[in-house]
Structure 1
């Protein structure tokens, strides 16, 4: 379901701050508040907007260490098996299958280095994992939370 220009503009505004009022959004995109609400309701019904959430700094929750784990899996490991296993770890922020040598890349948040090491060991111990390779984040340089292509 491709979005038209107005729908895309509304989605961009909501991605920046989902708490903005329909009137605020309408003033920015050139629509009335009721027209924005109708469009947002339609986008939700069609599945283009899947929900609204809050972004929290992981450090505020005690997750001070961030890292990425490359997973190299045994042959014939289905992506769904990887997803199902990783879903059990609250420390996993995101996981994706990727091109290249690794089968998946996993973003981890942990309370400290020891905790990261424990999570890494548990993931490496999954039956389908052949080996892992990890890197730790020193300083996040750029994080974008907007939706779609930049305007």
Structure 2
């Protein structure tokens, strides 16, 4: 990745709605070149998609809970797929030990999180353990950027 592409990505992370003319002006290149570089980054998969960052509190999702699960290794993909399909799950990651899932849920109340946990986490034969922590205060978070 060259310096121009890195600067282009920084601009898109801050505001993916920038016009090619605005991008070109800020990078000191032609509009056609800016458009070609954005297209190349899309085609090679460096940029996966353009999206909106939504404030969950504006949607009434004020309970942010982080869940760490230990799951039987042979079913981790199936458990991850089922949980990822639930609307309460904002993000889900399979961790390097291949038996842990790290999940971020967003719900409107503690009670609705409990209902989610009772239905999908508690008493499931393939889930070995559950640890939950609620977010108290957001100090820094990632808006855009590399998805690792």
TM category (shorter chain) comes to 0.7 to 0.9
**TM-score (structure 1 length as normaliser):** 0.86
Aligned to 2:12: 14
- Alignment equivalent of 1:74, drawn from 63, 67, 72: 72
Q: How many residues align?
A: 145
Aligned to 2:24: 26
User: In the superposition, relative to structure 1, how do residues 87 and 71 fare at CA in structure 2: closer, same or farther (>3 Å)?
Assistant: same
Structure 2: stretches of 5+ with no match in the other structure: none
Matches within 5 A, 1:63-102: 63-78=61-76, 80-99=77-96
User: In the superposition, relative to structure 1, how do residues 138 and 25 fare at CA in structure 2: closer, same or farther (>3 Å)?
Assistant: same
Aligned partners of 2:20 and 2:35 also within 8 Å: yes
User: In the superposition, relative to structure 1, how do residues 102 and 70 fare at CA in structure 2: closer, same or farther (>3 Å)?
Assistant: farther
Moved over 3 A (4+): 99-102
Aligned residues: CA RMSD = 1.9
User: How far 1:98 moved relative to its partner?
Assistant: 2.3
Q: Secondary structure at the match of 2:74?
A: coil
- Alignment equivalent of 2:47, drawn from 38, 49, 58: 49
Aligned to 2:59: 61
